[in-house]
Structure 1
Amino acid sequence: MKFGFRPENILFMTDDQSDPLRLPTRHNMFMGFTWLMTGVKPGDSLVFHYSGHGSQQRDYSGDELDGMNETLCPLDYKRAGEIVDDELNRQLVNPVPKGAKLHAIVDACHSGSVMDLPYSTRVVNGRLEWRSEYARPTRAYKGTAGGFAVQIGAALDSQTAADTTKLSGYTSTGAATYAFIQAIEQRGTTMTYGDLILCMDSTLHHALGSGGGGGGLSPAMMGGGALGGLLGGMLMGNTSNYQRQQPQLSCAWTFDLGYKFSL
């Protein structure tokens, strides 16, 4: 395993599982969140990776810049409901203790701020700039319990996320997930957080001249995931009606993007 995570610390949920407890239903995903966060202590590294459908719902609190909450769509979302960004923040971000870190890689439509972290970056003229995610101060605390929480989203909140064969050459994959893997494989341990997002942005820009977002439901949850695990969460789809997607990095606070990336 490239990042040293043991198999017993990795939990997969995919929609082709025969075990009903490994299907990415809303209930199972929340059980997975509990599994991931139980017993977290200083020095721990957590990874949550999701590849699947993302959507938006109207926000009535008034704290979202675009007036919308971002959501993940579990396998049974039509019956059980979508998972809203506020829920993801409470379940995965709020509990991260001082000395621990969480990386969330979310390859879904409208995923830029789906972890509801307070700050995010945008690529502007080839450079990354921080901005606040809130139209006004939020009444709910959106940070951690002292730990480091970062999300890498496949696209801005207003965008869809593509699946494509152009990156691998032989199978349809989540484009942002593959771009993430490519960045790590190419840049290795010398890569910074800024390098990661700019490399992903460049890969997506050059590889996706046309095509569109969408795909099957196949989230994967990892208690510290490895690259092989990330591949297991890729989704299938087509490449029609694509509009240029931009990856987005979000965090509980602003930090120097020259800081070395490490899971």
Structure 2
Amino acid sequence: MAMHWLVQGCSYGDSLVFQFSGLGAQVPDDDGDELDGMDEALCPVDSFQQGPILDDEINEAIVRPLVHGVKLHAIVDACHSATVLDLPYQCTVSKQTGRWRWRDERPMTGACKGTTGGQAVLISGSSNGKSNMSVLPEPYATIGAMTHSFIRAVECEPRTTYGRLLTSMRAIMRDSSGNCNLQGPIGGSIRKVANFSGVEEPQLSSAYKFDVEREPFCM
């Protein structure tokens, strides 16, 4: 699998980034390590020929090899992407208190889904499972809603915590009118925001639990 190169030779102090924006899917779990009985998967352009990339494969390829002192950030904008790295802990917002809280996602089978001492963080989103593939006539004119909210939040507050980042992303997702006002050479060519993944809420998963309100976000 092509993503193996990302972690090859990684060592203490390395900061790695994996980004995917596209289609996601769910397929029946065949090894009993999913609480809901479904594996999450990414569908790259060759998925019709090669098949989707399952969360088990992604976890084995870029999560398990992370050694002490190495940190991976994965930014995934796709439907069914909230647990696509199969990380042990998931952070979601409480509808009652509005605060971020951790949920244990470790499989009942006891299968290890963590790292080899390093840290892995996934920023994704919970979705309604419905893809919205809005096609505009101009190529490269759209950006996914989750990706847009992430970039906007980081641009507005570069020195932030994970909790403030998620809260800002949540506000941007809810307030976005579909217009994109990102800055810089890349943002200048993007005119519209399309919620093709059906993402409704930002989510964070991690190999280890930490205080999201205090931990600085740094890639």
TM-score range, shorter-chain basis? 0.7 to 0.9
- 1:47 aligns to 2:17 (yes or no): yes
1:251 aligns with 2:206: yes
1:262 Cα offset (Å): 0.1
Contact 1:163–1:172 under 8 Å retained in 2: no
**Aligned residue number for residue 261 of structure 1:** 217
* Greater strand share, structure number: 2
Match of 1:221 in 2: none
Q: Give the C-alpha shift of residue 162 in structure 1.
A: 5.7
Checking the alignment, whether the CA contact within 8 Å between 1:97 and 1:144 is kept in structure 2 is yes
Q: Is contact 2:149-2:172 (8 Å) kept?
A: yes
Q: Quote how far apart the aligned CAs of 1:243 are.
A: 6.0
- Report the residue type matching 1:193 in the other structure: Y
Deviates more, 1:117-126 or 1:92-101: 117-126
What is the deviation of 1:39? 1.1
Retained in 2: the 8 A contact 1:163–1:175?
A: no
Match of 1:127 among 99, 112, 118: 99
Determine the C-alpha separation between the residues in 1 that align with 2:186 and 2:35: 31
Aligned equivalents of 2:5, 2:199: Cα separation in 1: 36
Query: For 1:117-143, what per-residue CA distance to the aligned partner results, in whole angstroms no more than 9, with x for missing partners?
Result: 01001111321110012452432x211
The 1:38–1:68 alpha-carbon spacing in structure 2 relative to 1, beyond 3 Å, is same
Q: Deviations over 1:96-118 (max 9, x none)?
A: 11011000000111100000001
In structure 2, C-alpha distance between the alignment counterparts of 1:192 and 1:161, rounded to whole Å: 30
- The reply to whether residue 197 of structure 1 matches residue 166 of structure 2 is yes
The verdict on how the C-alpha distance between 1:162 and 1:228 changes in structure 2, with shifts beyond 3 A counting, is: farther
Q: Percent identity?
A: 43
Q: How many residues align?
A: 205
Q: Per-residue deviation at 1:172?
A: 2.1
Match of 2:143 in 1: 173
- The residue type equivalent to 1:132 in the other structure is D
Q: Does 1:91 align with 2:36?
A: no
Distance 1:137 1:256, change over 3 A: farther
Alpha-carbon offset, residue 201 of structure 1: 1.2
Q: What's the RMSD between the two structures over aligned residues?
A: 2.9
Q: Does 1:147 align with 2:103?
A: no
Where structure 2 has 5 or more consecutive residues not aligned to the other structure, the ranges are: none
Write the distance in 2 (CA, Å) between the matches of 1:200 and 1:179: 5
Q: Do structure 1's residue 78 and structure 2's residue 34 form an aligned pair? A: no
* Larger relative contact order, structure 1 or 2 (CA cutoff 8 Å, min sep 6): 1
Q: Write the distance in 2 (CA, Å) between the matches of 1:107 and 1:228.
A: 21
1:206 maps to which residue?
175
- With normalisation by structure 1, the TM-score equals 0.70
1:23 is matched with which residue?
A: none
Q: How far did residue 187 of structure 1 move?
A: 1.0
Name the SS of the counterpart of 2:76 in structure 1. Answer: strand
Give the C-alpha shift of residue 228 in structure 1: 7.4
